[in-house]
Amino acid sequence: MSALAGKLEDFRAGITAIDCDYVRPRLAASHLVVDAGRAAFVDTGTTRSLPNLLHALDAKGIDRDDVDWVLTTHVHLDHAGGAGALMRALPNARCAVHPRGARHLVDPEKLIAGSIAVYGEERYRALYGEIAPIDASRVFVAEDGARIRLGARELELIHTPGHALHHYCVVDAANDLIFSGDTFGISYRDFDVDGRAFIFPTTTPVHFDPQALCESVDRLMAYGPRSMFLTHYAEVTELERLARELKERVIAFADLGLRYRDARDRTDKLRHGMFAMMSAWLDAHGYPSDDARRHWLLDEDVELNCQGIEVWLDRK
């Protein structure tokens, strides 16, 4: 058995979650979808995730020629940073991207600069490595409601602003499931208690829009799915509860921002307030009260979420 075998987890409907080895185990997934011998990846992780993705193809006995699609839900680098490197390895694949994201995958300079602004140069290099451009002729610009074929199944790509303006979700209506990227928030398996998932929104820079995000969650739920597959991380069910909690928490984050909007030490107040808020939700969820572990699992998201809320406050 290869050391990479533990990175794969199989689900229904021909879906395998692949650990992208981003930051820590089971933080970011790429999903491999196989139907009638054809395959697609939904999100790619970073360039450093590529070996795990190619290993997943080998493990499933799928030839690289048989991958038809690389579906990048949005162009944030933990979702699409590896798309260029992956496309080079897949001769027949097309990369589907939102109209607002397409030029960034063809010419990643601005994406790289934006990410360095968020993460700082050193951390950016450590996290993402090289970002390869994608030839424009291999990019499929996904308009809202675009339908694509994968083997015997049809997938619908729908625009879902709120987390990012360049975000789409992948609806697999025949299988009652949706790949939600970051639109349906974050649900790390680390926080599962007795099989119950814990969920919270991701409000990273620079497009967070609470109202649009809640409307996008409603749009996803209107399909009546049984499962969502989240990039962070993999399958969740019990969707009525999670959608309700997610929307409540979007509003709670926005209200937190408004409360400290004009505070002199706004950044500090937001960070402490958000961690305290999430800690209270974890208490209610029945998660052990181990503060060090909570910080280890949440600090990165608290930091990015607060940055995104400040961008939103300054834009309003």
Q: Which residues bind Zn ion (CB under 5 A)?
A: 76, 182
Between the CA atoms of 306, 307, 308 and 314, what dihedral angle is there, to the nearest 10 degrees? 110
The three-class DSSP label of residue 209 is coil
Q: How far is the CB of 121 from Zn ion (least distance, A)?
A: 20
| CA 60 – CA 207 distance, rounded (Å) | 37
Residue whose beta carbon is closest to Zn ion: 76
Nearer to Zn ion, 75 or 221 (CB): 75
Tell the residue number behind the tokens 């069910």, with chain if given. 237
Q: Which of 118, 126, 170 is nearest to 13 (CA)?
A: 170
Nearer to Zn ion, 41 or 260 (CB): 41
Q: How far is the CB of 136 from Zn ion (least distance, A)?
A: 23
Q: How far is the CB of 112 from Zn ion (least distance, A)?
A: 16
* 125 beta partners: none
Nearer to Zn ion, 57 or 111 (CB): 111
Q: How far is the CB of 304 from Zn ion (least distance, A)?
A: 9
Q: How far is the CB of 64 from Zn ion (least distance, A)?
A: 27
Nearer to Zn ion, 182 or 310 (CB): 182
Nearer to Zn ion, 134 or 213 (CB): 213
Give the CB-side neighbour count of residue 160, counting CA atoms within 13 A. Answer: 28
- The residue ranges of DSSP E strands in the chain, in sequence order, are 8-10, 15-19, 29-35, 38-42, 67-71, 94-97, 139-141, 146-150, 153-159, 168-172, 177-181, 227-230, 234-236
